[in-house]
Amino acid sequence: MRLARLANMPPATSGPLKLSAGEVKAIEDLRSAAARRRRILYLRETCPTETQGVSTESLEEHLRVSEQTGSKLGLVSEGAHCRWAYLMVATRGQIAQAPEVTTYIKSGGSQPDDQVRLIMKSTAPPMGASAKATTGILSPECGNVAL
């Protein structure tokens, strides 16, 4: 595919594309911001009661904490970070302080991303209408989770 070059643009150089360290950082910053926006939408859809009236800035701060704790656990994929952010909202951050959970994620016999998926699968069924009040650490307001 070819694109037309505007008249005021310099001619393209031949050879591989070269990016400066600053350009790479700018690209990474844009990718991180886009991922954070997607996670905010995910949280607003999966936890509408808990995020209703919460500012975007507050959710961004929640996501920064969630990303930090998730990265320390070894989470890599965006899906795993979404699930972890959901669990952090659903538990009001308590899950990051639960050693039985963090140990399971880090050394449960599979990749940390897979372990978070398993936690979600094991906690989503109890969050049905009849069991919402008895889930213990999970907030009863969060539901409708896309696994």
Reported as a single tens digit per residue, the pLDDT across 49-89 is 989 999 999 999 999 999 999 999 999 999 999 999 999 99
Query: Closest by alpha carbon to 106, among 75, 77, 137, 67?
Result: 75
Q: What is residue 122's predicted lDDT score, i.e. its pLDDT?
A: 83
In percent, the amount of the chain with pLDDT more than 90 equals 57
Separation CA 105–CA 120 (nearest Å)? 12
CA 120 from chain centre, in angstroms, equals: 13
The token duo for 126 is 């109890």
Q: What is the CA radius of gyration of the chain?
A: 20
